[in-house]
Chain A
Amino acid sequence: MSVERTYKEINERIKAGKAVVLTAEEVIGKVREQGISRTAKEVDVVTTGTFSPMCSSGVFLNFGHTKPRMRMSKVWLNNVSAYAGIAAVDAFLGATELPEQDPANSDYPGEFRYGGGHVIEDLVAGKAVNLKATSYGTDCYPRTELETTITLEKINEAILFNPRNAYQNYNCAVNLTERTIYTYMGALKPNLGNASYSTSGQLSPLLKDPYFKTIGIGTRIFLGGGIGYVAWNGTQHFPGFMKDKEGKDLTASGGTLAVIGDLKQMSSRWLVGTSYLGYGATLTVGIGLPIPILNEEILEYAAKSDEELYAPIVDYGDAYPNLKSMDLGYASYAQLKTGSIKVRGQEVPTSPVSSYVRAREIAATLKNWIQKGEFLLGEPSQLLPGPEQGLKGKSLT
């Protein structure tokens, strides 16, 4: 009889301090050693982690009211504009927003040393941040100008809300042109000079539950060092499978998460302002998901190793920017992690943009929280759409 568990049963075991939790790295060895059935009987939860630049991130802030009151139509934090086209003293600060008068790429490649992601890091680190606001003034909100200093502690709310995070899988970026290019995957040297990849492979949350059998609205997660939740599917959530030459499923790709959490609980170790030369500013976000081992099938996917997970190799010199299709093949995460892959018969050195070291630390931290009974699993109110729904991206004309 193969094992079946419910969220309730797992949470009871967590509360009793009896839950067996392994990281997504540890479970691979366990399954190799003793097989799926025995491991599924023993293990309640597998924890995952990723620590990667995630541009679609930001924070909703409520500053509290001034005397006299002000509606705040335009808001800047450390000279970085936040969107204030919502209610009085609310604003949304996005990770990729640049300071006013930033030279951007006018002196190519631009440095992008500071941006919205860096403001978020400063806030989380408890640093004082300059707040400037203007308004047209109304009878109920007469004040028209404000300049002051805030800290995370002093404001009412700071809610991290990231509309597209934790990409299930990601391109391995190369450059087939004859000049160095500057991308969100880092600098890419000409003529296949290097290859840049992301995701933590065998530790990556959405690669370990490719059919979205456990991840949904309300899944409780590690977010930025605190506790957060899956709020919805991410934007551009088009889960599917890349196919091998025989047309068989190779590796899941296309899924994304929208996540939410209280910034006040988080830490600047897990939310880091980030700059890509010639590209822009962003935020590196730490995310970890627990995968409840409800049955053997869920474990089978959660135990996939770097040897079994592949990333597509994509030319960022022409094919990617011009939305052209070009088949450069796939590389397994095991190959990518050796430091070298073969593309068109050429040896190409690889380097990551996401930190495997920190991803491992996230999975271990989440495991520790669950073992100590501090973190219970959140049963999703509704699972996210899986590959069977056939969601596909639209393009603009």
Chain B
Amino acid sequence: MTEASAKIVATEMRSDAREGMTYLESVPMRLVTLWLPLGLIMLILLFPFYWMVLTSVKPNAQLIDMNTYNPFWVVNPTLDHIKRLLFETAYPLWLWNTMYVAFAATMLSIFASVLAAYAIVRLRFRGAQMIGASIFMAYLIPPSILFIPLASVIHFYGLFDSPLALILVYPTILIPFSTWLLMGYFKTIPFELEECALIDGASRWQILTKIVLPLAIPGLISAFIFSFTLCWNEFIYALTLISSVQNRTVPVAIVSELVDGDVYRWGSLMAGAMLGSLPLVILYAFFVEHYVSAMTGAVKE
């Protein structure tokens, strides 16, 4: 009984802390200071997506005639734009390229980051701190200053215009970030667990695969989701290092292949933008918490 009452007190205290000082605010006050600005900001943040989806199902006639039809709505929505995109352009191929490059690059960089993060946090070799700091510095080197020399390096390695070039180059963006994130996760795993395993005669590899990784799964998912999104979003390397149409990724292909002088291009452009973002939004919807913790974790460390 005492336990139960203690629990009730605890929940009451928690709800009290959660509500904070909201009881000091009146309803109209809250409406003006909270809901109005929040609603306005959300409206602006979401409008481009609404517009994107709306345009992609609007018949051409309604797209350019804004007087007969209300442009904010659609009558007789059509799938023509999406159909044209999927069957008359190489869009499915571009989508496949993006997915395959993003997946391969993410897997490679997670493999490299797990090893590096474990070594920096737990092996504590000579110079570990310095290497950790320099990996963080690598995160601050933007692709915009690297793409020209990288193009000649890729030429030199003979990888130009091959998806392999992107798969090997993207990890340079992802490794610094995921290593930093995983270092944070590995630090939270009690060292005693590893000591026990070491005394029982486990090798470092066994410790890593059997003890550390299973405990760091949330961190791995965060790193995976975030890296995958970054790859999907990457533009400048994909633009510079890939030259043939069938090897392009979605972001580059939309800008350089779908944009022609046609007035009627908007429907399929918006359909392309929508289909290109949809996989990421779905992935994000399932792993919001991991995504947020990846983003804030990397900044907080």
Answer whether A and B are interacting partners: no
